[in-house]
Structure 1
Amino acid sequence: MKMNEDEKWVLCPLCGNKTRVKLRKDTLLYHFPLFCPKCKKESLIDAKNYMIRVIG
């Protein structure tokens, strides 16, 4: 599957590795539980315009 140029992978805020979640320019996430398969931790994030903010 080819990734569009307007899609980006979400990186884990703790270890910096790729997660299994992709964002598009128009994606809005509020209080999203992001799980990292590498470090096995979960972070609560908000995302808008490819900008990710860690809540907890």
Structure 2
Amino acid sequence: MDKTDWIRCPKCSSKTRTMIREHTVLEDFPLFCPKCRYTCVIRFMDGKLEEIKQPDAKTQS
């Protein structure tokens, strides 16, 4: 049986509404936190969560 767990928000560390398994691979996945209302794009591989920094529309020239 695979172990499942909730993805945690990179900003406030609370549980999001997305569950993952040990072997899950996510690439450019939009993640929303219902508690702090933070939205980001993440990468999840080998049990490690990485937030992908994207340029803000205001900083584009």
Short-chain TM bin? 0.7 to 0.9
Provide the identity percentage.
38
Aligned residues: 53
Greater percentage in strand: 1
Spell out structure 1 runs of 4+ moving beyond 3 A.
Answer: none
Greater percentage in helix: 2
Structure 1 residue runs without a partner (length 5+): none
Rg larger in 1 or in 2? 2
Q: CA RMSD in A?
A: 1.4
- Of structures 1 and 2, the one with the larger relative CO (CA 8 A, separation 6+) is 1
Given the two structures, how large is their TM-score scaled by the length of structure 2?
Answer: 0.78
Structure 2 residue runs without a partner (length 5+): 54-61
